[in-house]
Amino acid sequence: MPTRRAAPRATPAAATAAALAAGRRAVAELPGVGPRGADLLARLGLERIGDLWFHLPLRYEDRTAITAIADLVPGERAQVLGRVGAVERGFRFRPLLRVALEDDSGATLVLRFFHFNAAQARGFEPGARVLAYGEPRPGQAGLEMVHPSYRRLAADAEAATDERLRPVYPTTQGLDGRRLAGWVARALVELPGDDVLELLPAALRERHRLPSLAAALRYVHAPPPDADLADLAAGRHPCQRRLIVEELLAHHLSLRRRRQAQRALAAPALRGGGELAGRLRAALPFELTAAQERVVAEVGADLAQSAPMLRLVQGDVGSGKTVVAALAAAQAIEAGHQVAVMAPTELLAEQHRRSFAGWFGPLGIEPVWLAGKVKGRPRASALAALAAGAPLAVGTHALMQEAVAFARLGLAIVDEQHRFGVHQRLALRDKGASGAGVPHQLVMTATPIPRTLAMAAYADLDVSVIDALPPGRTPVQTVVLPETRRDELVARIRAACADGRQAYWVCTLIEESEQLQARAAEKAHAELAVALPGLRTALVHGRMKAAEKEAAMAAFKAGAIDLLVATTVIEVGVDVANASLMVIENAERLGLAQLHQLRGRVGRGSARSSCVLMYGTPLSLLARQRLEVLRGSNDGFEIAQKDLELRGPGELLGTRQTGVAAFRIADLGRDAGLLPVVAELADALLDGHPEVVDALSSRWIGQAERYAGA
């Protein structure tokens, strides 16, 4: 077992305990919920009354007024009251129900349904009175609402409008939104005052002008009739801000806590004379950049400590992260410890294996290779070597499996490719299982992440940035073209290869299925081979055997192949300096970070390189904007920032693993500006009020933490 230094345990203040106790009763105790309701709520992770207080509205609907149909504004949700003028049911391509609604303003609104049952359709007889709420959009004949929520009114019934804005909560199948809203409202009756609920010290709240928690919760669940809907929709109201800050703070603190716990463990202090690293450096065909030198020094200093390093190295594609990792490995090996280098895909892991074998082989150190596909005798001998203390292992996350036992793992290097999370990082610490303590961890991101986001997602790591590229690179020129101009591209490839250059043709598909991807790539390969007679072509996709892939890649690297047709498996790691042209099919289907990563496969040498982003038509506005970002910038950090603005953080970070997308009210794309305040509050709390830290985390992260037992 890893040794654990005694960590001081704070006793929660009485108020903290009371705050937790207040919301602890089971939801089934609320009037109207019962065991059936409790089951539904459990699906939303809501088990206690206090959980409902923190189940926050996604948005609000204004049904306090009725808008005349003639006054509807496209895009602005509104409520209308009208009579059914005409009904049309169609079945041409798919079922269709269109209902023309008229009111005294003389205008007509079409309600359009694609899914409906017979009873619903019968309900719309001409003359029926209907109260509908939805978003009007321009249609074939005037404005229409697609799938509005609606209610039929009896001929003489009054159309009762809401007194307040209606909060809309995230719900689950089988649980009507209004019922859920009713339960939340009922739970709020039990909301205690700030004397019990508030966890943030008054001085901190005043400094950052944050309303009290009880006030914020009441406001957000039931904004007054005159509340500014636009402010609320934008998450700008001070009461929302208060909750956003608290939620971000809770997540940030929980990461910091994990970090503290991790740092409290003992790690081997990896010091040596630097002789091995010196020999490695001497053999390099280049000088390190100043940025690389700085990061090597930061990492080296961490490794020499007896608290485990937890460091993230960020750097743009091609900034030279691998050699930095290799120098760290040399330091650990010289100190007599083992190093594991891990990558998320086999192809990338193979690339690292080649790089590390190239650097360490001449120094008498052969990396041990371990991937999921290594079975039988090779696997047994790899495991035996690691157990016997072989200094260097390279592979996929197979290296982290339970069966793999290291004799004295001192450093784990993880190339993250935005899909590795906190949990895996934690799992690593058990790999050091020896008297020597837990291993140091060096994480490299293949995708730069904006600073603000890194602060949120990686609050458990120190961050080093390699902020310059090695000299002598010519920026890649990026072109955006419709697929209708495919023939021109074929000509371009022919010209580039005639010039002695090499090219990539990358196939993408929306489907996650490797099989479909592979088939698309096979088809493209066959077509290109016909269109480009005389060129030596090869194919690489995820369904091929590792040895086949490796052979194709090696041939391409050696210049024996002119055109490599591939799926996105080549996203990371592939390094062929003579390749100067890349065509990406259906580029609009990929994320910006992924495109930037792919594009980084060219422009590795000194030749002028280009990347053609080919898109299928028609192209949506957002897709066009995204491709334009790429055309306009070669800077991964800038691209990541734009991607964050355009698409939110989930895409950048890989949502589930990091948990950052599971926010109730915060939205990192929108609220990243609050992160400095969050970091400041976190420092203040950890320093002065450690007793509230756990309460805050469990209040907001509740379920996940409870189950993970973290």
Q: Least separation, in Å, of the C-beta of 192 and ligand ADP?
A: 52
Tokens of 408: 């004295």
Instruction: Establish if 605 lies at the interface with ligand ADP (CB under 6 A).
Output: no
Instruction: Establish if 292 lies at the interface with ligand ADP (CB under 6 A).
Output: yes
Closest residue to ligand ADP, judged by C-beta, is 320
Instruction: Establish if 288 lies at the interface with ligand ADP (CB under 6 A).
Output: yes
Q: Would you say 47 and 41 are in contact if contact means Cβ atoms under 8 Å apart?
A: yes
Binding residue for ligand ADP, selected from 64, 105, 260, 289, defined by CB under 6 A:
289
Please tell me the count of residues contacting ligand ADP according to CB under 6 A: 16
Q: Least separation, in Å, of the C-beta of 496 and ligand ADP?
A: 20
Tokens of 420: 């590795």
Binding residue for ligand ADP, selected from 470, 605, 648, 690, defined by CB under 6 A:
470
* Strands annotated E in 496-543: 502-506, 537-540
Q: Least separation, in Å, of the C-beta of 609 and ligand ADP?
A: 14
Instruction: Establish if 322 lies at the interface with ligand ADP (CB under 6 A).
Output: yes
Q: Least separation, in Å, of the C-beta of 288 and ligand ADP?
A: 5
Binding residue for ligand ADP, selected from 241, 321, 418, 549, defined by CB under 6 A:
321
Q: How far is CA 193 from the centre of its chain?
A: 36
DSSP summary character for residue 461: S
Binding residue for ligand ADP, selected from 99, 191, 280, 323, defined by CB under 6 A:
323
Q: How many Cβ atoms are within 10 Å of 647's Cβ, its own excluded?
A: 16
Query: What is the distance between the alpha carbons of residues 11 and 118, in angstroms, rounded to a whole number?
Result: 62
Q: Would you say 327 and 277 are in contact if contact means Cβ atoms under 8 Å apart?
A: yes
Residue with token string 């594609």? 317
Choose between 114 and 286: whose C-beta lies nearer to ligand ADP. Answer: 286
Q: Least separation, in Å, of the C-beta of 555 and ligand ADP?
A: 18
Residue type, 211: P
Binding residue for ligand ADP, selected from 315, 391, 437, 659, defined by CB under 6 A:
315
Q: Would you say 438 and 306 are in contact if contact means Cβ atoms under 8 Å apart?
A: no
Q: Residue 340: what are its φ and ψ, rounded to 5°?
A: -115, 130
Q: Least separation, in Å, of the C-beta of 294 and ligand ADP?
A: 12
Instruction: Establish if 114 lies at the interface with ligand ADP (CB under 6 A).
Output: no
Binding residue for ligand ADP, selected from 199, 249, 309, 317, defined by CB under 6 A:
317
Alpha helices in 284-414 (DSSP H): 290-303, 321-334, 346-360, 376-387
Nearest to 130 by CA among 106, 107, 111: 111
Choose between 246 and 415: whose C-beta lies nearer to ligand ADP. Answer: 415
- Residue 491's alpha-carbon distances to 155, 559, 619, in angstroms, are 70, 20, 24
Q: Least separation, in Å, of the C-beta of 130 and ligand ADP?
A: 59
Instruction: Evaluate the omega torsion of the peptide bond into residue 57 and state whether it is cis, within 30 degrees of 0.
Output: no
Q: Least separation, in Å, of the C-beta of 210 and ligand ADP?
A: 41
Burial class of residue 153 (count of CB atoms within 10 Å of its CB; 0-12, 13-18, 19+): middle
Write the interaction track for ligand ADP spanning residues 430-469; mark x where CB under 6 A is met and - where it is not: ----------------------------------------
Q: Which of residues 228-287 bind ligand ADP (CB under 6 A)?
A: 286-287
Instruction: Establish if 318 lies at the interface with ligand ADP (CB under 6 A).
Output: yes
Nearest to 565 by CA among 476, 475, 489, 480: 489
Instruction: Establish if 308 lies at the interface with ligand ADP (CB under 6 A).
Output: no
β 129-134/149-153 pair status: antiparallel
Binding residue for ligand ADP, selected from 319, 331, 447, 464, defined by CB under 6 A:
319
Burial class of residue 372 (count of CB atoms within 10 Å of its CB; 0-12, 13-18, 19+): middle
Q: Which of residues 536-595 bind ligand ADP (CB under 6 A)?
A: 575
Q: Least separation, in Å, of the C-beta of 315 and ligand ADP?
A: 5
Nearest to 460 by CA among 305, 261, 315: 261
Query: What is the distance between the alpha carbons of residues 547 and 699, in angstroms, rounded to a whole number?
Result: 51
Residue type, 309: M
Instruction: Establish if 340 lies at the interface with ligand ADP (CB under 6 A).
Output: no
Choose between 288 and 538: whose C-beta lies nearer to ligand ADP. Answer: 288
Choose between 89 and 473: whose C-beta lies nearer to ligand ADP. Answer: 473
Stretch that binds ligand ADP, among 27-35, 316-324, 340-348, 477-485 (CB under 6 A): 316-324
Instruction: Establish if 102 lies at the interface with ligand ADP (CB under 6 A).
Output: no
Choose between 318 and 649: whose C-beta lies nearer to ligand ADP. Answer: 318
Q: Would you say 112 and 140 are in contact if contact means Cβ atoms under 8 Å apart?
A: no
Binding site for ligand ADP (CB under 6 A): 286-289, 292, 315, 317-323, 470, 575, 604
